[in-house]
Amino acid sequence: MKAKPKGRARKHPGPARAAVKATPVALGYRMPAEWDPHEAIWLSWPHRHATWPRNFRPIPARFAAIVAVISRFEQVRINAARALHPRARRLCERAGANMDRVEFFAHPTNDSWCRDHGPIFVKHRETGRVAITDWDFNSWGEKYFPFDRDNAVPSRIARALRLRRFKPGMIIEGGSIDVNGAGLLMTTEACLLNPNRNPEMSRIEIEQTLRAYLGVERIIWLGRGIVGDDTDGHVDDLSRFFKADGIVTAVEPNPRDVNHRALRENLERLRDLRTPRGRRFDIRELPMPGPCRRNGQRLPASYANFLVLNGGVIVPTFRQPRRDATALRIIGECFPGREIVGIDCLDLVLGRGTLHCITQQQPA
């Protein structure tokens, strides 16, 4: 994703024990499901050429086209250094965005992956008040430098919106987790248990922190991610909740494909799961796109990287008409009553992420 690798991961101290009494769950907050109503979708405007080496030129216009689609459904809020605002605004206008629904914030960033460096919002169960959980961001295990501005984005958003901010003191990225809004959180061992994130924390401590700050009760662990994913296996390229007891999961039927085994093992784990009521989950299989490559390297193209909006779902497509159409149909069946919009993401995935990776929802 993003820039030139450098250095080794430093050990992270883990969450501050003194903050336990003021955790969101103790105060009545939880992370809503993505299909719950939104106030806005956040993005971070692209500007770093190294993220898309020799392919950056179409990316700002591609972001603008995505902003235009999202603005049909809800408000869009964009992090960007102030100097980037005029051109970004022109591109959004040219793309046909509803500019009454587009806001720019003078929040400089290092890169464009708002799902991972942006805040994870939580909502109070009774009052509906929204707050921010500000997790530490170390650029996927200190793979890319610098990342100081990205790490500051949640605190900047909290100040701009005057929202309460909780600081867990633990490293996670938004793309590494998915919740059903009813007590379940899904993640991967390859990412959250990777020693380049929180080496001083045990699996039990990581689970306890997720429960305390996101209001979940049970953690569902998958195994490995897909080849080409430099995030060490984010779950939003693999498996996603589409209802409280429903999971849509990427599969690769071709046994000779490099992703076949890892995705089959994840599917087997999901089939063995039971809901809190002891029932099987409604599992929907979502075939992978055909291999997308750059310079001989496999890219992390996945239809599971969709984004749920107010009244719609935007789905990445990869110029593979038959497979794209199958993915749109399956995701449409998961979200009846919502408009399903395919967005060409072949240029975007050259940076090793697509629609879910560049966005973060703010609950209504």
Q: Which residues are identified as catalytic? A: 357
Whether omega for the bond prior to residue 15 falls within 30 degrees of 0, making it cis, is no
Contact present, 354 and 327 (Cβ < 8 Å): no
**Which residue in 252, 261, 228 sits closest to 353, CA to CA?**
228
- Asked if 173 and 116 count as a contact pair (C-beta separation under 8 A), the reply is yes
Phi, psi of 349 (to 5 degrees): -70, -10
CA distance 287 to 109: 34
| 350: nearest Cα among 115, 4, 56, 141 | 56
* DSSP percent split of the chain into helix, strand, coil, nearest 5: 30, 25, 45
* Antiparallel, parallel or unpaired: β 75-80 and 38-44: parallel
Contacts of 270 (CB under 8 A, 6+ apart): 222, 239, 247, 249, 281, 283
| SS3 of residue 314 by DSSP | strand
305, 357 contact by CB (below 8 A):
yes
Alpha carbon distance 102, 89 (integer Å): 9
